[in-house]
Structure 1
Amino acid sequence: LRENLARFLREVIPTAEEVGIRMCIHPDDPPRPLMGLPRIVSNADDIAFVLGAVDAPANGLTLCSGSLGANPVNDVPAIAKRYADRIWFAHLRNVAKDPDGSFMEADHLGGDTDMVALVTVLLEEQKRRQDAGDRNWRIPMRPDHGHELLDDVGKPTHPGYPAIGRLRGLAELRGVMQAVSSLRDLPL
């Protein structure tokens, strides 16, 4: 699987570079074999392989804090810091892990990933990009997944994507972003 992905990237990334597209791979969700299918983007070493397969800005990462956070070996803020210059999109969600390796969706600020530390890394990278004159300095970020709340209950939605629950997550994350931005003089 790794070699197939690398071959694909070697074919696609040069064209993406030519036309100004930034590709970004999403980590495995969940980050462990599922129904016998192996996973290839589940930790920092896997990300290093993917980004190193074609070391070019167009070959980037969607940082999904929930997918990476579900792997007990991952320190998500550290992974974000290590690959900050290649993160082109961020899904901000949180999970709580159990000792047996299972996990469940948690509140955006209530899971095992230190979301304040993660947001700080992302905002610091935005500042670095802005200071370097990158016109695309913002990292698009969105709250990912949410709990059914209030008017969400009973409505036909895709699991993890209720409107009110995701708005709550957005409000929490925007609050963290505003506080970190203000305290550290970082651009939003």
Structure 2
Amino acid sequence: ANGLTFCTGSYGTRADNDIVAMVKEFADRIHFAHLRNITIEDDGSFHEAEHLEGGTDMAHVILALMQEEARRRREGRADWRIPMRPDHGHLLADDIGKTRLNPGYSLIGRLKGLAELRGIMRAIERFELA
């Protein structure tokens, strides 16, 4: 079936986009999520922010996606999972000076983002969906 790959960073570049509301509105059509955050400057320019910083409320984005997963699972759908991945990790000390490193895709920076996002997921499972 057709669906959306929802990138929180891409949609977050417009200050007037309510990312959490957008996730809720299109939840039944989201099949994959890129989770990244950005900060918008006063002049409208933007830059990457850490996954739990920036203008997007990542905890509520993840909550909405997990609630959609739970709804799909209750319906008995085989495709109930919405894969989510941290996008554009920050360059951390261990990554500095390494060759063949693609900007935004440092190993340790992305692992840090993944750990933070998985922490939110585990907390939601424990307190919201338990």
- TM normalised by structure 1 equals 0.67
Partner residue in 1 for 2:50: 107
1:133 and 2:76 aligned: yes
Q: Which runs of 5+ in 1 are unaligned?
A: 1-57
Partner residue in 1 for 2:114: 170
1:73 and 2:11 aligned: no
Deviation at 1:59, TM superposition (A): 2.2
What amino acid maps onto 1:69 in structure 2? G
The alignment of Structure 1 onto Structure 2 pairs a total of residues equal to: 129
Partner residue in 2 for 1:86: 29
Q: Which runs of 5+ in 2 are unaligned?
A: none
Deviation at 1:71, TM superposition (A): 1.3
The separation in 2 between residues aligned to 1:62 and 1:159, in whole angstroms, is 21
Q: Which protein has the larger Cα radius of gyration, Structure 1 or Structure 2?
A: 1
Deviation at 1:73, TM superposition (A): 1.5
- Over the aligned positions, Cα root-mean-square deviation in angstroms equals 0.9
Q: Deviations over 1:56-114 (max 9, x none)?
A: xx221111011111111211111000000000000001001112110000010011000
- Counterpart of 1:111 in 2: which secondary structure? coil
Percent identity over paired residues: 56
Question: Which consecutive aligned stretches of 4+ in structure 1 deviate over 3 angstroms post-superposition?
Answer: none
Q: Deviations over 1:142-170 (max 9, x none)?
A: 00001110211122211100000000000
The separation in 2 between residues aligned to 1:70 and 1:125, in whole angstroms, is 24
